[in-house]
Amino acid sequence: MARCACPVLDQAGAGLNGGARLCYIEAVLSYLHIRGLALLDDVALELGRGMNVLTGETGAGKSIIVDAMALLRGARGRAELVRQGADSARVEAQFELDAAAQGRVAPVLAELGAAQGEALVLERVVGRAGRGRSAVQSILTTQGVLERVGEQLIDICSQHEHHSLTHVARHLDLLDAYAGLEAEVVAYGAAYQRWQAAVQAEADLRRRASEGAARAEFLRYQIEEIERLDPQPGELAMLRARITLLRDSHRWAAFARQAHDALYEADDAIAGRLAALLDEARRGADSSSLLAEIHEQLAAAQVACEEAASAANRFASELTFEPGALELAEERLHELEGLRRKHGGEVDELPAKLEAMRVELGEVEHADEHLAALAERVRELHAACRAQAEALHASRSKAATGLARAVEAELEALHIPRARLEARVESLPDGQLGPRGMDRVEFLFTANPGEPLAPLTKVASGGELSRVLLAVKGVLATGDHVTTYVFDEVDSGVGGAVAEAIGRRLRAASQQRQVLCITHLPQIAAFADAHFRVEKHTKDGRTITRVLRLSEEQRVEEIARMLGGSRVTGTAREHASQLVAEAQRAVRKPGGRGKSRPAARA
């Protein structure tokens, strides 16, 4: 059943506890299978749309699932991740893609020659000996190609290096998404490529022109050599066949004469015998259908016999060669083979290479004229690029303030009340133009009043980074393009009202993108659409981790455990039921997603 892509309530059916059901987007990570990864011996998760929560005791192996997701996103595979006693660790994932997600991964899949459609399977194997394997749609590929696909599908929010905010290059993407500049960036990129192609063409021509007379003389020699030999399409194959015939010409000439005699010239030639039979059959053809059929077939045989005799006669005539024909053919073959080796490729490609050399010779001989024209084109293309880059710069500078204020508003709702963010837009050194324009964007941040702004990647803690990213995702709404957000330690160092606010934002984010959240806070777990418990067990003297999807009753029990510790009391169960009920009411309540986002887009 199709699901709408808008963050609104779908009143057509019942959701959790019989309430209204939220609409979620179609693209999801539907299946995750992990084998031999640290404590995870063999774990399979069937994930759903919306907010998927994993809880469990500290050390149960929750973060190992984040490591598995990071491997699918192209993280470096480390031998220590492999479970003791196993030769390798394996992570497999199946994604269900909507049209937009299919479009994002289509270029990479096309390069691989991989199947495209609604289902996408990624696989990563990490070997204990350091050798690994990556596959997309069951096609072996490199870790880099897997990363290109994985980064379109998964965004990991944790203290680890795969957090998208720790890569400054991503800050420009986020600002462009907020400002709605995707089309302008694509148009600029095309203009930039045209300019760079013209710059390269001008440099190549200047290099050739600097070689001057020597280059021109070399080209004239090459052109004269190819023109003298004048290779024809298919000539090499014909020469080889002719040489084979010439080497056995006496045998084939004898065969041709013998065939002609047997078919036509001899006293008992087949043609004559067929003519007699044909004449006899003609006399009875009107009286019998079988005789008529025999007559027809004999007539066809006589025509075939005469044609074969004529072909044998022509073949015999062609085998009358001038003296030295074999030597001439072999010499011609040797010259063409030498020309082919000298210029590379095939003989049939030489006419095109000849034309290219004629063009280049003309450019060298008229280099000054061509250089002037190319230099003018480079100036025109550069001016067009700069105009587009300046327009992008103005739009980004205008949008940067709006993005910062919107993120600060989200952070206030996430209980970082006096945080300040700046999306600093700076021009590249010396007025340079790059593939994305003339700008470098970096987020500066401080969570503490009175402290100076500093690069976000250096001053924010893991928990703050996760909340900043959660705020950014809330501001961007549909502007971001990944399929699945993975939040780890987003609740680090918080509780109470802060935890509830984070839960609300995670649930709101899950209406636009699938969310996989690892948490130790019951206030966040209460907002889950699907709740999984990660637990350790001992089997045959080995520790293994299992992941269980909880029923509603089990879910209340798990939240009660999170509230009260190992001893679950009736009071804790009652409190857990209340938390779940309040979370569901908050989701169903109009405006229950917290403060509205600033709508302004520059």
- Catalogue the long-range contacts made by 213-222 (C-beta closer than 8 Å, 24 or more residues apart): 215/364, 216/361, 216/364, 216/365, 219/357, 219/360, 219/361, 219/364, 220/361, 222/343, 222/357
- Rounded to 5 degrees, φ, ψ at 419 are -70, 150
Predicted pLDDT of residue 512: 81
Given its phi and psi angles, is residue 436 left (phi above 0), alpha (psi -120 to 50 degrees) or beta? alpha
Q: Which is nearest to 29 in space by CA: 107, 114, 91, 116?
A: 91
Bridge partners for 13 per DSSP? none
Determine the Cα angle at 511 with ends 3 and 534, to 5°.
105
CB 460 within 8 A of CB 489: no
Whether 9 is covered by a domain: the verdict is no
Q: What is the 3-state secondary structure (H, E, C) of 212-267?
A: HHHHHHHHHHHHHHHHHHCCCCCHHHHHHHHHHHHHCHHHHHHHHHHHHHHHHHCC
Q: Which is nearest to 503 in space by CA: 452, 572, 559?
A: 559
Bridge partners for 127 per DSSP? 88
Q: How many domains does the chain have?
A: 1
Whether 345 is covered by a domain: the verdict is yes
Predicted pLDDT of residue 13: 36
Based on its alpha-carbon atoms, the radius of gyration of the chain, rounded to whole angstroms, reads 38
Predicted pLDDT of residue 156: 83
Whether 589 is covered by a domain: the verdict is no
Predicted pLDDT of residue 346: 82
Between CA 324 and CA 200 the distance in angstroms is 52
Predicted pLDDT of residue 537: 85
Q: According to DSSP H, which parts of 29-84 are helical? A: 62-72
Q: Given strand 420-427, what is the order of strands in its sheet?
A: 420-427, 439-446, 454-455
Other Cβ atoms less than 10 A from the Cβ of 317: the count is 10
Q: Which residues contact 65 (CB under 8 A, 6 or more apart)?
A: 32, 34, 40, 43, 45, 54, 516, 518, 534, 547
Predicted pLDDT of residue 596: 38
Predicted pLDDT of residue 595: 40
Between CA 21 and CA 3 the distance in angstroms is 11
Between CA 71 and CA 150 the distance in angstroms is 9
Whether 96 is covered by a domain: the verdict is no
Identify the domain containing residue 248 by its residue range.
212-359
Whether 274 is covered by a domain: the verdict is yes
Predicted pLDDT of residue 17: 39
Predicted pLDDT of residue 492: 67
| Prediction pTM value | 0.60
- Rounded to 5 degrees, φ, ψ at 493 are 75, 20
Whether 295 is covered by a domain: the verdict is yes
Between CA 427 and CA 434 the distance in angstroms is 10
The pLDDT tens digits for 455-470 are 887 876 666 777 787 7
Predicted pLDDT of residue 563: 86
Q: Which residues of the chain, if any, have pLDDT below 50? A: 1-24, 161-162, 591-602
Helix (H, G, I), strand (E, B) or coil at 39: coil
Predicted pLDDT of residue 12: 32
Predicted pLDDT of residue 277: 86
| Residue labelled with tokens 């084979």 | 244
Between CA 170 and CA 176 the distance in angstroms is 10
CB 129 within 8 A of CB 187: no
Whether 37 is covered by a domain: the verdict is no
Whether 55 is covered by a domain: the verdict is no
Predicted pLDDT of residue 16: 38
